[in-house]
Amino acid sequence: MADAATINISPMAVALPELQPLPGVTLGATAAGIRYRGRNDLVMAEFVPGTTVAGVFTRNRCPGAPVEWCRHALKGERARALVVNAGNANVFTGRAGLAAARATAEVAAALVGCKPRHVFLASTGVIGEQLPYQRLTDALPALHAELRPDRWEDAARGIMTTDTFPKGATRTAQIGDATVTINGFAKGSGMIAPDMATMLCFVATDAKIPSEALQKMLKRGVDSSFNRTTVDSDTSTSDTVLLFATGLAKHPEVPDDGGPMLKDFRAKLADLLLDLALQVVRDGEGAQKLIRIDVSGAVGRRSAQRVAMAVANSPLVKTAVAGEDANWGRIVMAVGKAGEPADRDRLSVAIGGTWMARDGGVVEGYDETPVVAHMKGRDVRIAVDLGLGNGEATAWTCDLTHGYIDINGSYRS
């Protein structure tokens, strides 16, 4: 198992912004000794009564017990607590796994004074080992006693596994005349793929939003952020995004379907989710470069998305970027393998804004110099124009390096 101390911080790490207290949320972290030594691995948050909740989960057919628990809890449309542990994913643990989830929720519910179904759970770490849940339930009372409104950083750090830096983001949004806050934190660095791309992401706001509108916004926000990013095409069994709205902000009532009143909130939420998703990609296992792929000229938006993800998932494109090789031939290959409508003789490819190939052939007098210079940087931009229609999409990934092999050839996750 790779020791966190032996893994260097990603060269693309960004600093954790200061997350201000949010009316209706207290949180904290502690060391329950689930797997790691000398660090926090158990996080709890408590929400005021009346908090609404929305969630999006992995499409993996073998999800962890906490995902099953949350899917069921979500039907209640209300949340009072969140309990997250790092070090053990409680995945492929059968009925005992679900019992462990229930026991954890029951203890948290007793502390908060709510029904177990108002407690949301997430676990991340090793798969296939029974969660030593008594360490969680033993640690929860002291942790609950220390929940405070200003412990966002502790929470962001407490859920890390192979992450090399904590990930957080904050935004403010206008609803009517009121200003509301949105805080979020996330973890994830490997097993990041199209169908729900981070392992865990938790967002809270003081806005008062009906759960129906909340769910709709979250789904849309995840589709244009986490679902447009990939690290290694593998899909975790635990991917979870939860959004809690405490409702303590004073603003006009939001209708069930959201509507125009949420326009600014929707945009700011999407922006925050994309910020967190890109932090996850920046922390891709072994990643040295962030790659952005812009596809245009596709027959439609879905087609453009599939082409962008095919390029983002191609090991040959990702190793070429790692080697700073302006290899547009591999980009053409990846476009073709997407299986979407494409005409070789209308295809154009650019790296860093320099068009290398146009309409199916090398650009006359193409000079590699600016492309080579661009590829030496941390941010690599690839553009593909299919020349067929107006479909556009963007995807993000990271390069594939020796670091990925180092981490995944030894870490049992």
Q: Which residues are known to be catalytic? A: 198
Are 323 and 332 in contact, with CB atoms under 8 Å apart?
no
CB of 336 to its own copies, least distance (A): 3
**133 near its own copies, rule: CB under 8 A:** no
Main-chain dihedrals φ then ψ at residue 139, nearest 5 degrees: -85, -20
**359 near its own copies, rule: CB under 8 A:** yes
**334 near its own copies, rule: CB under 8 A:** yes
Considering only residues 183, 296, 354, 408, which one is a binding residue for its own copies as defined by CB under 8 A? 408
Considering only residues 4, 233, 372, 381, which one is a binding residue for its own copies as defined by CB under 8 A? 233
**175 near its own copies, rule: CB under 8 A:** no
Residue 306, classed as helix, strand or coil, is helix
Helix extents (H) in 224-327: 263-282, 301-313, 315-322
Considering only residues 161, 205, 305, 327, which one is a binding residue for its own copies as defined by CB under 8 A? 327
| Spatial distance between the Cα atoms of 226 and 230, rounded to a whole number of angstroms | 8
CB of 225 to its own copies, least distance (A): 20
Residue 148, classed as helix, strand or coil, is strand
CB of 319 to its own copies, least distance (A): 4
Tokens representing residue 50 in the block: 């009346």
**127 near its own copies, rule: CB under 8 A:** yes
CB of 245 to its own copies, least distance (A): 30
Are 181 and 223 in contact, with CB atoms under 8 Å apart?
no
Kind and range of the H or E run holding 396: strand 391-398
Residue 264, classed as helix, strand or coil, is helix
Q: Considering only residues 42 through 101, tell me which ones interact with its own copies, judged by CB under 8 A.
A: 59-63, 89, 91-96
Q: Considering only residues 99 through 118, tell me which ones interact with its own copies, judged by CB under 8 A.
A: none
What does the DSSP 8-state code read for residue 132?
A: -
For its own copies, the closer CB: 87 or 184:
87
For its own copies, the closer CB: 245 or 393:
393
Main-chain dihedrals φ then ψ at residue 126, nearest 5 degrees: -65, 140
Which class for 121: exposed (0-12), middle (13-18), buried (19 or more C-beta within 10 A)? buried
| Footprint on this chain of its own copies (rule: CB under 8 A) | 59-63, 89, 91-96, 126-130, 190-191, 193, 195, 232-237, 313-316, 319-320, 322-323, 325, 327-330, 332-342, 344-345, 347, 357, 359-362, 400-402, 404-405, 408-410, 412-413
